Structure formats: C-alpha cells, structure tokens
C-alpha cells in the first residue's frame, strides 16, 4: 500500500510541472495586462509601462517561468500582483473557510444522497422512488445561484431563521451547505440507486436471499458495500472539486474562501496568484483520486491485493 501511495505521488510531480507550464503559456497567449487592470479607467500609459518594468512583468516568458518554478520548488509561490500579499498565506488563510463549507456540504449530500438512493433502489418504481428521484433531479438541475436566492429569500428575509450572507458562526454555514450539498446529493442519490440496482441482480445476492437472510441485512451486508464503490469515487472527486473553491456559492454567501481568491486571480490576470490557486487545486484533485483509490481497497479486497502487487 505504501509503495502504491509513494508511486502515485511521484507520478504526480511531472503532472504538476506540466500544468504550471501550460498555464504560463495560456495566460500569455490570452490578452490582458494586470497593471492596466489595476488602474482601470485611470490608466495612464507611462504609469503602466513603468510599473510593469518595476514588477519585472516585461521580462521574457521563459525567464519568468523559471524564476517562478525555482521559487516554487523552494516553497515560495510569490506575491500576488493585485492583492500584494504572499500567495501561500492567502490560500492557506482562505482554505479553512472552504474546508468547513466543503465538509458540511459533503455531509449534507451524503446524508441525503445515500439513503435516498438506497430507498429508491429498494422501492424501485414506487411512489417513493419517483418522488425521491424527482427531488434529486431538481437538486442536480437547479442552478446554485437560483436555489441560493430562493433559500435566502425564504429563510433569511421572510422567516428570519438564518442570516442572509457572511461567515461568522455555525448559523452562517447552514444555507450554503444545504445549497451546495443538495446539488451533489442529487448526483449521489442517482448513482447509489443505479449502482445498487445493478448489484442486486448479482448471483451472490440471490444466494444471500436464498439462505434466508432478511432483506435489510442483504442490502446492508452484501449489496451496499459493493454498490458504494463507484459512489465513493464520485464522492472523493466531488470533495476535491469543492475544496478548490465553490466559486458561486462563496460569492453569493460572502464566504472568503479559495474560490473567491481564484476568481480574483483570473479576472486580474494575477499570474502568481493564479499559479498558486491552480497548483493548489491540482494537488487536491490528485489527493482526492488517491483517497478514492485507498477507499476502494478498504471496500474491495481484490483491489487491496492488486495494490500489494498480488495477482487477480
């Protein structure tokens, strides 16, 4: 297992370097000038040119890239052009907010998604199934900005149960977590349902039933464990995605998270900050995949054997 994890981490290093190079090239191909953007309507050609040169932005691309890479390898991601703050500190300061939102949203999506999926599969084609699947379809289909607005209107403005926006205590996490969690819950419910239905057709389920096990036990002990493997993959990737910033949710609910930082960076053509955010997101996605693989092995002994180097 350890060898497997180390191997995966080593493989991801060229991926990271490749992504930084790609990003560097892409950002230089698309038009935009961070200093002109800082000055906006007050732009003055002399000032723009002077500040660009003072910030070494007019150095050749290759010089800037290797300067960045050399510093990044030493753990220094540079200073944001727009925010004039250390990129690593900016991301690490914003990350806990995103982490809290992600954990809460993920919990909401699992707590809703998995039971709904299981119930729908067990009561296939019943009224419950149709109701639940309809509910999850709404979750998947409804844009976050719309469900967020509806919730704000009902629970904050009309009922006054929850604050409209901000991130200053547990009551502030409830609405964004539900909005974000609901949209992922739909995906998880549908996946759990289809996966469980697939598993229920297998011979070993028939065997389990034949030996007289109660249906609940059949599902819990035999079916669900197998059905959850694809669900776990989606969950891990979903969490990794959420951790790199739920851009819209963070903007609507005023959460100072990683998503806000990334949007700032893209809009401002803020190269150091964008490199930092993308590197961070890449690491999270790689880690998310790694965690999914490890969870596989916990759920499925065959995969565990494979990781140990054993044959099928």
Partner 1 sequence: MLNKVKFLMATGLVTIALASNSLAADHVLRIAYQEDPKTVDVQMTQDFYTLPLNVYDRLVEAETSGPGQTQLVPGLAERWDVSDDGKTYTFHLRQGVLFHNGEELTADDVVYTFDRMLDPKTKALSTDILNFVDGATERLEGTTTSVPGLQAVDKYTVKVVLKEPYAAFVALLASPGASIYNRKFTEPLGDQYGLTPETTNGTGPFVLKEYNLNDNQILAANEKYFKGRPKLDEIIIRVVADSETLRLLFESGELDVFDIDYAPTQLPYFIGSDQWKDQVRSGPRVGMYYYHINQALKPFDDVRVRKAFQMAINRDEILQKNFYGKGAIENGVIPRGISCYTAATPIEYNPAKAKALLAEAGYPDGVDINLTQVSSWSSKWSDMNQIIQAQIKEAGFNAQIKTMDESAYFASRKAGTVDNYTQNWSADFNDPDNFFYTFFSKSGTAVRGYNNNDEEVFAALDKARSMTNAEERCALYQKMTDRIVQEDAAWVPMFSLDHAYVVQPRVKNFVVPWNGWSDMSYYKMEVE
Binding site for partner 1 (CB under 8 A): 30-34, 36-48, 50-51, 54-55, 82-85, 90, 93-94, 96-97, 99-100, 149, 152-153, 156-157, 160, 163-173, 251-254, 256, 260-261, 264, 267-269
Q: Smallest distance from the beta carbon of 45 to partner 1, in angstroms?
A: 5
Nearest residue (CB) to partner 1, 84 versus 311: 84
Nearest residue (CB) to partner 1, 194 versus 264: 264
CA–CA distance from 258 to each of 64, 213, 214, 217, 250 (Å)?
A: 25, 49, 47, 43, 9
Q: In three state form, how does the secondary structure of 242-285 look?
A: HHCCCHHHHHHCCCCCHHHHHHHHHHCCCHHHHHHHHHHHHHHH
CA–CA distance from 77 to each of 14, 27, 59, 181, 183 (Å)?
A: 17, 17, 18, 32, 33
SS3 call for 78: coil
Q: In this structure, are residues 113 and 192 in contact, taking their beta carbons and an 8 Å threshold?
A: yes
Q: Smallest distance from the beta carbon of 32 to partner 1, in angstroms?
A: 3
- As a dihedral over the C-alpha atoms of residue 293, residue 297, residue 300, residue 302, rounded to 10 degrees, the angle is 100
Nearest residue (CB) to partner 1, 65 versus 253: 253
Q: Smallest distance from the beta carbon of 138 to partner 1, in angstroms?
A: 21
Q: Smallest distance from the beta carbon of 234 to partner 1, in angstroms?
A: 27
Nearest residue (CB) to partner 1, 90 versus 121: 90
Which residues have C-beta within 8 Å of that of residue 161, sequence separation ≥ 6? 155
Nearest residue (CB) to partner 1, 101 versus 121: 101
**Helix intervals (H) in 125-169:** 127-141, 144-151
Q: Smallest distance from the beta carbon of 265 to partner 1, in angstroms?
A: 11
Instruction: HSE, CB side, 13 Å, CA atoms: give it for residue 265.
Output: 25
Nearest residue (CB) to partner 1, 193 versus 260: 260
Number of neighbouring beta carbons within 10 Å of residue 5:
13
**Cα(310)–Cα(312) distance, rounded to whole angstroms?**
7
Q: Smallest distance from the beta carbon of 41 to partner 1, in angstroms?
A: 6
Instruction: HSE, CB side, 13 Å, CA atoms: give it for residue 310.
Output: 10
Nearest residue (CB) to partner 1, 144 versus 224: 144
Nearest residue (CB) to partner 1, 136 versus 152: 152
DSSP for 152-164, written as a single string? IIIIIIIS--S-S
Nearest residue (CB) to partner 1, 151 versus 185: 151
Q: Smallest distance from the beta carbon of 170 to partner 1, in angstroms?
A: 6
Q: Smallest distance from the beta carbon of 283 to partner 1, in angstroms?
A: 17
Q: Smallest distance from the beta carbon of 47 to partner 1, in angstroms?
A: 6
- The CA-based angle 80-83-85, given to 5 degrees, is 60
């Amino acid at each position: 297992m350890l060898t497997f994890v180390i191997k995966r981490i080593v493989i991801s290093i060229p991926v990271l370097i490749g992504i930084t190079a790609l990003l560097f090239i892409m950002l230089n191909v698309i038009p935009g000038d961070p200093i002109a953007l800082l000055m906006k309507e007050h732009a003055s050609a002399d000032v723009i040119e002077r500040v660009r040169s003072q910030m070494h932005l007019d150095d050749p691309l290759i010089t800037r890239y290797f300067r960045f890479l050399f510093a990044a390898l030493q753990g220094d991601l540079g200073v944001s052009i727009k925010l004039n703050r250390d990129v690593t500190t900016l991301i690490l300061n914003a990350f806990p907010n995103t982490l809290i939102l992600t954990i809460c949203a993920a919990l909401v999506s699992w707590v809703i998604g998995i039971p709904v999926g299981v119930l729908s599969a067990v009561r296939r084609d019943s009224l419950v199934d149709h109701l639940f699947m309809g509910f999850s379809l709404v979750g998947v289909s409804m844009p976050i900005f719309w469900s967020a607005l509806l919730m704000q209107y009902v629970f904050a403005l009309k009922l006054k149960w929850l604050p409209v926006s901000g991130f200053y205590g547990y009551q502030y996490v409830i609405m964004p977590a539900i909005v974000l969690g609901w949209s992922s819950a739909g995906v998880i419910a549908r996946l759990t349902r289809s996966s469980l239905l697939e598993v229920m057709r297998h011979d070993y389920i028939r065997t389990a039933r034949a030996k007289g096990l109660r249906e609940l036990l059949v599902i819990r002990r035999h079916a669900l464990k197998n059905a959850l493997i694809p669900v776990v993959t989606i969950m891990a990737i979903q969490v990794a995605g959420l951790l790199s910033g739920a851009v819209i949710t963070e903007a609507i609910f005023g959460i100072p998270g990683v998503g806000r930082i990334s949007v700032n960076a893209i809009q401002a053509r803020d190269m150091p900050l964008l490199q930092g955010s993308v590197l961070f997101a890449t690491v999270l996605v790689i880690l998310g995949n790694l965690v999914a693989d490890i969870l596989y092995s916990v759920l499925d002994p065959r995969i565990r054997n494979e990781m140990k180097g054993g044959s099928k």
